[in-house]
Amino acid sequence: MKWMSLAAVPLVAAVVAGCKSGGSPASSATPASPVSPVSPSVVRADDASAACRSCHAAVVESHAATVHAHSTAPASEASVRGSFAPGRNVLGAGKPSLSLVMEKREGGLFQVFKDASLGTEHARRMDVVFGSGRNGQAYMYWRGNDLLLLPACWLPGPDSWVPGPGAFAGDSGPELVVPQRCLECHTGGPLKPGEAKGFGVSCSSCHGDGAAHVAWHTEHPGEKEGRHIVNPGTRAQALEGCALCHSGSRQVKTPEFSWKPGEPLDSHLGAPTPGANMGDSHGNQVGLLEKSKCFQGSPVMTCSSCHDPHRSERSLEVLAQKCTGCHAAPKHADPAISAAPSAGCVECHMPLVPTGFIRLMTPTGMVSPKYRSHAIGIYPNGQGASPAK
């Protein structure tokens, strides 16, 4: 039996479609081992983070609350945001006899394709979760050493299951293998079936392998200067650490996971595609920032000028205070705006704009999720895809 289309849907998890620019999927015939459900509150990004904890406990703990740390996770009741409650766990398949049902079964959480007319069902276990849930989640299952996309995704706005790319179900799965380029940005290293480690963006993702650093400082406990670790020493290094994953769809020149923090990023990735995929987290947010007057007028501004990568910062009021570091006395026609920073600084000068990269079918129709534009500027009426010239 061939996998049957649930609905005529466009791409939802463009994480898969967008990562195909030169990326290669993992491939092996090795049978998969069961992945034990592990709470993301217990599993951190990788073993390096645990090693960092002995000296940097506060930073490791605060990083554990970030969306980066939860960019991937083993599938469990703690990490999967979609509902399994009757009435909320069913995704229609275009005809009354077909359905995709999310079920808790012995051995894990499953997406089950059911054909009532034939009395058949085909179950696939959710093994890996992509996304913290802030903007949505996609789910994967292991087939050998290949990680394949499951048909149902979840959106927080309607709090509902929605069809994923192609949205197929049946015997052998949607043949959408997750490329290694996706994993390079969502994990601390290549994932392996049956192993509950490597999930999420880790300390080593930005600072490099810390094994030599830990060993050296263990032998020299009185040494305060960090050795054998990468802390971005230049503006370019700071930006490239973010650009690895936030500079749009780029051709991969060298094998995934081969780039090391501190190395020139253009040795690993080709140039960003001009104007492509600019409007969401998979787009060229670094490029948008670099075109902004704030960036061009400062010799030191980087992504971390506003974002502390070691902690979760979602409050627009708090982020607006970063604006006053450079714009201490903003002048607006409305005196209330000039009096104190507020969420309006961000809402007006970095508005939410609909992505042109991902379109989703929801119970109320097609939607394009909105993402915060990093093209800092003056927008007509505080809205729009690009700032006024």
What is the pLDDT confidence band of residue 15, given thresholds at 50, 70 and 90? very low
Residue with tokens 């069809």: 163
What H or E segment, with its residue span, contains residue 365?
strand 365-367
Give the type of residue at 73.
A
Summarize pLDDT for 184-222 with one digit per residue, the tens.
999 988 999 988 888 999 999 999 988 899 999 999 988
Give the type of residue at 60.
V
CA 94-97-99 angle, 5° bins: 60
338 by DSSP, 3-state: which?
Answer: helix
Distance separating alpha carbons of residues 101 and 232, to the nearest angstrom = 47
Q: Where are the domains of the chain?
A: 4-314+350-382
Distance separating alpha carbons of residues 25 and 183, to the nearest angstrom = 9
Q: What single-letter DSSP state applies at residue 273?
A: P
How many other C-beta atoms are found inside a 10 Å radius of the C-beta of residue 21? 18
Summarize pLDDT for 35-90 with one digit per residue, the tens.
333 333 333 344 557 788 889 999 999 999 999 999 999 999 999 999 999 999 99
